[in-house]
Amino acid sequence: MAAESNFVDYVKIYCRSGKGGRGSTHFRREKYIPKGGPDGGDGGRGGHIFLRGNRNYWTLLHLRYDRHIMATNGRGGSAKRSTGANGEDRVIEVPCGTAVYDAETGEFITDITEHGQQVMLLEGGKGGHGNTFFKTATNQAPRYAQPGMPAQERMVIMQLKMLADVGLVGFPNAGKSTLLSVLTAAKPKIANYPFTTLEPNLGIVAYRDKRSFVMADIPGIIEGASAGKGLGLRFLRHIERNALLLFMIPADTDNIAREYEILSRELVQYNEELAEKRKVLAITKCDLIDEELQEMLREELPTGLPIIFISAVAQQGLDELKDTLWKELSKESLHEPDSIVRQSLDLSSLTWDDEDDLFPAPIRDEDEEEYDDLDFDLEIEYDDDADAPTQL
């Protein structure tokens, strides 16, 4: 991830819930009540760790500099059957489309796809019972209580996978950003050199009868991207959720069919399930050729998918393109786009900065020690011949 870029689409963070507070072994002590009995309260629960979708975020940049998310511990129980305070919960705000994986195994944990959706990532420890809980007819003075349940901790990887209906796939300078700027209100960077687009862009395409769909433009792919050439396959995670892939190849390409095969092969090498997605092929920059050349090109084009000739600059064929995309999006498909997202993560495909700074130093359990100093939990032994309890 480039340091100067504000677009961060994956991050590794350390999360820890709060431990439960311990129960109290306090005994009731009041004047003229020598044998008050146990009145220790239960401990409070530890704080939970939640994930919550927020449509106002579009990147994980805010988590890049806040990598230690820790809830507070529950407080211990006290006298008069008082239950300790619960630990404070922590809520991690993430952009919609964020998937969460275990950093040790790559196992899929959960994903957030809607604004306001909240998922518990780590549960806080339950508070322990005080000695009042253990009082019975045959054990009227229990001198023990439960400790709180321990906290849960986990290293997780969060990946942003943009929510879009149509993903643009093509080599650099295929006209993807130009098409996005013409069909939507997005303003991606456009220039006449390769890899102008260095981060994904989203735009909403307006269609008839106030209908619309979302289009995603990702950086260009080159042959050998699966082996790390160019920008590699890092940004292909943003088309995993797409229901439709729009392949874009310029009309002045020497061999359109071969370029389509290369793009398809690179996608399959990234993830085989991408081959099951519906596809449309757009031949771009058609203002450079006449209708006779278009007919000649049709004989050499791949078969089995819709093919549209367009020119974003001259705005040729754009209505036909939108009609075709909407028709394909409306078709029933047996392929579930989110099935790719729920697969285990290949940890070797990610690189990290400042790896050693991710693990927090051991934190002193201040809550536990604070309650020890209050001298609440004294063990009491009763002597039948004495008027008052004897302190051990």
Residues of each annotated binding site: 170-177, 195-199, 217-220, 284-287, 311-313
* Contacts of residue 132, Cβ cutoff 8 Å, sequence gap at least 6: 38, 39, 40, 41, 81
Say if residue 15's pLDDT is above 90. Answer: yes
Residues of each annotated binding site for GTP: 170-177, 195-199, 217-220, 284-287, 311-313
**Cβ atoms of residues 110 and 100 within 8 Å:** yes
DSSP state of 56: T
209, burial (CB in 10 Å: exposed 0-12, middle 13-18, buried 19+): exposed
Say if residue 247's pLDDT is above 80. Answer: yes
Q: What is the mean pLDDT of residues 7-22?
A: 89
Q: Helix, strand or coil for residue 52?
A: strand
**Identity at 56, one-letter amino acid code:** N
Whole-number pLDDT of residue 351: 65
Whole-number pLDDT of residue 119: 94
* Contacts of residue 227, Cβ cutoff 8 Å, sequence gap at least 6: none
Flag whether the pTM goes above 0.75: no
Say if residue 350's pLDDT is above 50. Answer: yes
Residues of each annotated binding site for Mg(2+): 177, 197
Say if residue 144's pLDDT is above 60. Answer: yes
Task: Tell me the CATH architecture of domain 166-345.
Answer: 3-Layer(aba) Sandwich (3.40)
Which range scores top for mean pLDDT: 305-314, 325-334, 338-347? 305-314
* Contacts of residue 310, Cβ cutoff 8 Å, sequence gap at least 6: 179, 282, 283, 284, 286, 316, 317, 318, 320, 321
- Rounded to an integer, what distance in angstroms lies between the CA atom of residue 16 and that of residue 155? 9
Whole-number pLDDT of residue 42: 92
* Boundaries of every domain in the chain: 10-160+361-391, 166-345
Say if residue 252's pLDDT is above 90. Answer: no
135, burial (CB in 10 Å: exposed 0-12, middle 13-18, buried 19+): middle
- Rounded to an integer, what distance in angstroms lies between the CA atom of residue 294 and that of residue 48? 61
Question: Among 3.40.80.10, 2.60.40.420, 2.70.210.12, 1.20.1290.10, what is the CATH number of 10-160+361-391?
Answer: 2.70.210.12
pLDDT digits (tens, 9 = 90+) for 23-44: 999 888 888 887 788 999 999 9
Say if residue 198's pLDDT is above 90. Answer: no
Structure tokens at 372: 């020890």
